[in-house]
Amino acid sequence: MTITIKRIEKVQFKKNIFKLYFDNGNTLTVLADTVVKFHLKPDISVSESEYDKLVSYDKSNRAMLEGLDLISKKAYSEKSLKEKLAQKGYDTDVSNKVLLRLKELDYINDKNYAKNYASYLYKKGKGTLLINAELAKQGLDKDLIKETLEGIKEENEPFKIILKMLETKLHAKFKNFDGKDKNETRKIISFFLRKGFAFEDISKAIHIIVNRDNS
């Protein structure tokens, strides 16, 4: 069974998008690249298998363009990009092909993503526990998360980050902090716990501040 293309029209206000009109009343919207690839023009007959091929080709190309557009605006982990493509209606097979090609081009790289995102969160004053949770949300491998956090810790020891925040951000709020007011100390501890820092790192930073101020 074949169907014949009656006419091809450019879709208004959409770059490189064309609409195919078939003699059976059906229509199909495709990319300009698909038109060129399959030599499509009016009065050309298309078999069922050829139709399936051009639809599959066009869908893969659209998914690739969608993926490139997404990663041009922000960084994605492999899983988060796959979920985004699924939200846009692309099935698993198509998404997997896109992800494979983007990984080959090094446009998505979970190891780099994990390091950059973890560093960003550290600089925002987030603690290890919260960063671990955020990286896990992005679907990153547990071993990769562990490796990333160990590397980040070497460069940015958590207690030093807390110490810096105590000396800057919190200085005005707790300007008379000397460690004697237990209620005030609890507030500081709670503040950093909410940011995902470990209790031992908070205690170490407070200990340094208190001893320095009382020396």
- DSSP letter string over 163-194? HHHHHTTTTTTTTT--S--HHHHHHHHHHHHH
**What pLDDT is recorded for position 177?**
67
Say what percent of the chain tops pLDDT 70: 91
2-104 matches 109-156 in fold: yes
Q: What is the pLDDT of residue 191?
A: 86
Q: Does domain 2-104 have CATH number 1.10.8.60?
A: no
Question: Given this model, what pLDDT does residue 186 score?
Answer: 86
What band does 28 get if pLDDT is binned at 50, 70 and 90? very high
104-151 per-position pLDDT tens digit: 999 999 999 999 999 888 878 788 889 999 999 999 999 999 999 888
Question: Does the domain at residues 109-156 carry the CATH identifier 1.10.10?
Answer: yes
Residue type, 77: S
**Minimum mean pLDDT range among 73-77, 129-133, 182-186, 200-204:** 182-186
Q: Where are the domains of the chain?
A: 2-104, 109-156, 157-215
Q: Is the pLDDT of residue 65 over 70?
A: yes
What is the structure's pLDDT at 51?
Answer: 94
Tell me the mean pLDDT in the region 51-64.
94
Q: Is the dihedral of CA 168, 170, 176, 181 positive or negative?
A: negative
Yes or no: say if 30 and 58 are a contact pair by the CB < 8 Å rule. Answer: yes
Q: Which residues are within 8 A (CB) of 96 and not within 5 positions of it... i.e. 6 or more apart? A: 82
DSSP strand pairing (17-22 vs 45-47)? unpaired
C-alpha–C-alpha distance, residues 162 and 100, integer Å:
40
140-143, Cβ contacts within 8 angstroms, sequence gap of 24 or more: 140/77, 140/79, 140/110, 140/113, 140/114, 141/110
* Predicted pLDDT at 85: 95
Sign of CA dihedral 121, 123, 126, 132: positive
Distance CA 60, CA 25 (A): 25
Mean pLDDT highest for which of 88-92, 157-161, 178-182?
A: 88-92
